Structure 1
Amino acid sequence: MNDPGTTGAGGTAEGKDYRSGFVCFVGRPNAGKSTLTNALVGQKIAIASDKPQTTRHVVRGIISRPDGQLILIDTPGLHKPRTLLGERLNDLVRDTWSEVDVIAVCLPANQRIGPGDSYLVEQLAHLRRRPTLVAIATKTDLVSGERLREHLLKIQSLEAELGITWAHIFPVSALTGDAVEALGDVLLGMLPQGPMYYPDDEFTDEPEEQLVAELIREAVLEGVRDELPHSIAVIVEEMSMRADRPEDRPLLDIYASMVVERDSQKGIVIGHKGERLRDVGTAARHQISHLLGVPVHLDLKVKVMKDWQRDPKYLNRLGF
């Protein structure tokens, strides 16, 4: 992984036993990668939804401890692309695989391991430089002990079927926190000795504007029709503290646009007499204020960029 350029920042905690490096979470869409990232970091840095293809950016979560620094990469789910956006997301996933120390495959315990999972692991098996592989059985809170045992045995059988070796097979529940801390210990222990890449008070290197945009997109994803989530992007047009406010009453002004592909989708996002848009604004404002620790005024608009997922000009403008 490229050195962010802050080696040794935040103190001189590194010693001969200090470990650091990069771990990439992969898996089918909705395998629990984002929720697990948030649980390990202890902060909400990746949006979670029951809709596939929720994650569109590589998100770095940073866990700093006296004995090392674990940097988590939450990639988009590998999927069969139907648009230029889908192709670019898949390229992003594969580029990330080649740069990390450990790849952790998330295999939800409440779902049978299927062709999509086998395809993903097979892709890992064919990497020219294969990082250490770990299997994580996520969502263990949703299954019985018997079902979990079956799931773990099936995960183990992938070694012989696909020609890979799991360094660990680890069951965890990000929702309840069960085994989350122990998983962090295991992942850190697999990393090489190395420097402190980030200051020890940082928990992500995502720009605040990107975090804000993702929280808005998470809010709009709740309760919309199944076909709509893939068509929504968010642009933060402006974000600044309001001038002439007393120190004890700060206010952060955020002006953002939700981008859809068709006029009919714009109507869905706005809702009857703007009710849906107001609900999205309220939910997003609370999340943003909690994340940034300051009261927020959020001004939301909806724009139509026709077929933006297939248009290179729009994709570049939206940062994909």
Structure 2
Amino acid sequence: MLAFKSGFVTIIGRPNVGKSTLINNIVGQKILIMSNKPQTTRNKIQTIYNGEESQIVFLDTPGIHKPKNKLGENMVKAAKDTLNEVDVIVFLVDESTEIGPGDRYILEMLKDVKTPVILGINKIDILEPDAYKAVYEAYSEYNIFDEIMGLSAINGKNVDKLIDKLVERLPDGPQYFPSDMITDQPERFIVSEIVREKLLHYLHEEVPHGVAVVVNFMRQREDKDIIDIDVTIYCERNSHKAIIIGKNGKKIKGVGKSSREEIERLLGSKVFMEIWVKVKKDWRDKESMLRNLGYM
């Protein structure tokens, strides 16, 4: 009988290279929010892959970037700290044939890390063979990777091979979480992330990064199959509040409708949701607010 293998893996990379998409593909269910805007992930979220004789606990961390405020500083610190807490690191890059300053910054960090590192070249579904070869050769010159492989997070190409490579490098260990568990986050957190994802889709420019979402309560009605959810969206400016609400409330209604539909699928129940928009000036630079929101 094979020994059970388990351990912790983090996927790092510049913002918007597909880290959340990859983890959602691995666990087979949408847990981490996805957006075409950078800095989608703010919290270090644990998701769990359960194999027949293995369990991988993924720490999804914020994209490593140059911070502009206290929220950004905490996001980068969370990502850096994780490198020394895990059994394997996956450094995910995209189809860019030139190594930019963001990737070079991460490469310099990885030089000092003793943890095994696998380089994942994402988006091979849109990469020509010559372009893939150029990316492969550019990164291999750093001589810090235990493995380099191409994959597509969005369509799952080679994701199973990546899982095999990760399991090979995990130690023998216990099953940390039940086999039917795919995240350690409570439903309230996932609900708040769904609402924040819809905001990222509906809004534009700087406003999405100045919003936080808090679920004030979730209550199951005793006599009906309905869950009441009360949500507050915090933003930093009165002008942002007006943008979030939209003309005649059209934008916030769209956010509410698309959020509710996804939350109903998640919870398997009808949902009645109320959304409030409040202004907390410069909340991303206030430690007390960041603590209350779970970012510190």
Task: Give the TM-score range, shorter chain.
Answer: over 0.9
Q: 1:215 Cα deviation (Å)?
A: 0.7
SS at match of 1:103: strand
Q: How do residues 20-39 of structure 1 correspond to structure 2 at under 5 angstroms?
A: 20-39=6-25
Q: Distance in 1 between matches of 2:240 and 2:15?
A: 23
Q: Contact 2:229–2:271 at 8 Å: present in 1 too?
A: yes
SS at match of 1:66: coil
Partner of 1:195: 174
SS at match of 2:90: strand
Q: Contact 1:219–1:280 at 8 Å: present in 2 too?
A: yes
Partner of residue 134 from structure 1, selected from 76, 95, 118? 118
Q: Contact 2:97–2:131 at 8 Å: present in 1 too?
A: no
Q: Contact 2:202–2:251 at 8 Å: present in 1 too?
A: no
Partner of 1:216: 195
Partner of 1:94: 80
Partner of residue 155 from structure 1, selected from 136, 139, 156? 139
The answer for unaligned runs of 5 or more in structure 2 is none
Q: Distance in 2 between matches of 1:176 and 1:87?
A: 33
Partner of 1:307: 282
In structure 2, the CA distance between the partners of 1:286 and 1:112, relative to structure 1 (3 Å rule), is farther
SS at match of 1:239: strand
Q: Write out per-residue CA displacement over residues 20-50 of structure 1, whole angstroms, 9 at most, x where no aligned residue.
A: 0010000000011000010001011111111
Q: Distance in 2 between matches of 1:186 and 1:213?
A: 33
Q: Distance in 2 between matches of 1:95 and 1:220?
A: 29
In structure 2, the CA distance between the partners of 1:131 and 1:267, relative to structure 1 (3 Å rule), is same
Q: Distance in 2 between matches of 1:293 and 1:186?
A: 35
Number of residue pairs matched by the alignment? 295
Q: Write out per-residue CA displacement over residues 66-104 of structure 1, whole angstroms, 9 at most, x where no aligned residue.
A: 111011111001111111111111111122111100110
Q: Distance in 2 between matches of 1:256 and 1:178?
A: 37
Letter in 1 for 2:75: L
Q: Contact 1:212–1:236 at 8 Å: present in 2 too?
A: yes
Q: 1:16 Cα deviation (Å)?
A: 5.1
Q: Distance in 1 between matches of 2:262 and 2:160?
A: 25
Q: 1:142 Cα deviation (Å)?
A: 2.2
The question of 1:57 aligning with 2:32 is answered no
More divergent stretch after superposition (254-263 vs 179-188): 179-188
Q: 1:187 Cα deviation (Å)?
A: 1.1
Q: Contact 1:110–1:139 at 8 Å: present in 2 too?
A: no
Q: 1:111 Cα deviation (Å)?
A: 5.8
Q: Distance in 2 between matches of 1:204 and 1:35?
A: 15
Q: Contact 2:202–2:255 at 8 Å: present in 1 too?
A: no
The answer for unaligned runs of 5 or more in structure 1 is 1-14
Q: Contact 1:110–1:142 at 8 Å: present in 2 too?
A: no
Partner of 2:93: 107
In structure 2, the CA distance between the partners of 1:292 and 1:155, relative to structure 1 (3 Å rule), is farther
Q: Distance in 2 between matches of 1:50 and 1:111?
A: 20
Letter in 2 for 1:193: D
Q: Distance in 2 between matches of 1:179 and 1:24?
A: 18
Q: TM-score, with normalisation over the residues of structure 2?
A: 0.96
Q: Write out per-residue CA displacement over residues 262-319 of structure 1, whole angstroms, 9 at most, x where no aligned residue.
A: 0000011100100000100111112212222222222111111010001112111211
The question of 1:145 aligning with 2:129 is answered yes
Q: Contact 2:64–2:106 at 8 Å: present in 1 too?
A: yes
Q: 1:110 Cα deviation (Å)?
A: 4.2
Q: 1:108 Cα deviation (Å)?
A: 0.6
The question of 1:229 aligning with 2:204 is answered no
Letter in 2 for 1:154: A
The question of 1:275 aligning with 2:256 is answered no
Q: Percent identity?
A: 40
SS at match of 2:294: coil
Give the root-mean-square deviation of aligned CA atoms: 1.3
Q: Write out per-residue CA displacement over residues 169-196 of structure 1, whole angstroms, 9 at most, x where no aligned residue.
A: 1111111111112211211121111110
Q: Distance in 1 between matches of 2:202 and 2:195?
A: 14
The question of 1:207 aligning with 2:186 is answered yes
SS at match of 1:222: helix
Q: Distance in 1 between matches of 2:220 and 2:202?
A: 31
Q: Distance in 2 between matches of 1:95 and 1:279?
A: 38
